Amino acid sequence: MVERNPRSTKLSKSYLFREVADRVQSYKRKNPGAVLYNLGIGDTTIPLPQVVTQSLSGFFESLSTEEGYLGYQNEQGNELLRKSIIERFYPDTITPDEVFVSDGAKCDIGRLQILLSHLSPVLIQDPTYPVYRDGTLLSGDQSLIYAVCNPENDFFPNFSGSPKLLYICSPNNPTGTVLTYTQLTHLVSYAKEHGALIIFDAAYRYFIQGEQHPRTIYEIPGAKEIAIEVNSFSKFAGFTGIRLGWSIVPKTLKGLYDDYARLHSTIFNGASILAQKCGEVVLQEGFEACMASVEEYRANTKAMRDALLSEGETVYGGEHAPYVWIETKGKSSWEAFQYYLEEKQLIVTPGSGFGKGGEGFVRLSGFFHPSTRSAILDRLACSSYTSTLYS
């Protein structure tokens, strides 16, 4: 029999969202009439703007013509799309050949973890989006530093243990908090002084309001020498099923830039041309419509946050991110998950699923459909609401 890879055994048994799905299925079997609202997984719910879908029919049909058919394309992504990404998000700081278009931020992180398997120790914010931890465990033998981020340290990790690679997500999944210019400058300084590299995940940048928080790490001087940034169309354009993202690997990273270009074309063939075309339209004529959807999710999140605060809950995040992070006050995260499931018929995500540092919290996502907003608020705001009303 073929042996397992010892690295695989380092992962905990079940992936967070699978465990949540299993518990929800179990509840549904016992309560077939239950109407559940999902505040769990951060999945988009608002349909794609018509301007996007309409402009693409012609493109699809052209693929069955001699003139329009397209085979293999540049693995790095088509140039118009890369230029549009620069114009929208990195004017004057990044060039198109520093953009690597992909099938999503999570997939890019998986590839970057192959590139960076030599950097140790690795700082993981705790709680963390699982792929930073699990992907690192699968692809290398580095030691991990779990840097707790909680209300006591203003959700900012400390750097004890001298990490050489740092995964930083801001606006943060799962806590919904966001780094300030001062905090991010501190991070960049640490990396520069210690020859460390930062993977900066900016997939939620579109939820930042005002001018008090950086939307990309490259707003911080010197960041191009020590940071790779990953991003995604998933959350701002509703592409969670369509699959499109990108990474910025600055040429100032020198050898790493060439090595990533090589790795990317070795084990990846580029994002689907269908997804890339959708992305082009989104960044041109579809952008305002996408931002209108972001506004709806923002309104969802604000309403949840306000309702929870008025109920006396202790709440973090939710102002510059689509996630609200709630203290569970004496309950464990999974106990609170069951409480929300059984008493309010709401699916939330247990904070402990994101690491030990998330124990004692649950995450609520603002990505539900706006048409369900008032029903969700009723359940959140009414302390006396229990599922018996619906059973």
Under a CB-based contact definition with an 8 Å cutoff, are residues 204 and 173 in contact? yes
Under a CB-based contact definition with an 8 Å cutoff, are residues 285 and 56 in contact? no
Q: Considering the rule CB under 8 A, would residue 135 count as an interface residue with a copy of itself?
A: yes
Q: Which of 26, 68, 189, 295 binds a copy of itself (CB under 8 A)?
A: 68
Chain mean position to CA 247: 13
Which one of the spans 23-31, 79-87, 90-98, 237-245 is the region binding a copy of itself (CB under 8 A)? 237-245
Which tokens is 298 given? 């923002």
CA distance 119 to 165: 6
Which one of the spans 28-36, 92-100, 193-201, 351-359 is the region binding a copy of itself (CB under 8 A)? 193-201
Q: Which of 25, 26, 50, 314 binds a copy of itself (CB under 8 A)?
A: 50
CB of 231 to a copy of itself, least distance (A): 14
Draw the binding track, 30-49, toward a copy of itself (x: CB under 8 A; -: no contact): -----------x-xxxxxxx
CB of 24 to a copy of itself, least distance (A): 15
Contacts of 191 (CB under 8 A, 6+ apart): 166, 197, 198, 226, 227
**Sites for a copy of itself among residues 241-280 (CB under 8 A):** 241-243, 253-256, 259, 262-263, 265-275, 278
Q: What are phi and psi of 166, to 5 degrees?
A: -130, 125
Under a CB-based contact definition with an 8 Å cutoff, are residues 126 and 175 in contact? no
Draw the binding track, 285-324, toward a copy of itself (x: CB under 8 A; -: no contact): ----------------------------------------
Which one of the spans 51-59, 147-155, 177-185, 317-325 is the region binding a copy of itself (CB under 8 A)? 51-59
CB of 220 to a copy of itself, least distance (A): 16
Q: Which of 101, 168, 197, 336 binds a copy of itself (CB under 8 A)?
A: 197
Cβ neighbour number for residue 207 with a 10 Å cutoff: 24
Chain mean position to CA 319: 16
Q: Which of 30, 32, 33, 66 binds a copy of itself (CB under 8 A)?
A: 66
Under a CB-based contact definition with an 8 Å cutoff, are residues 184 and 220 in contact? yes
> Nearest CA to 304 among 206, 176, 185?
176
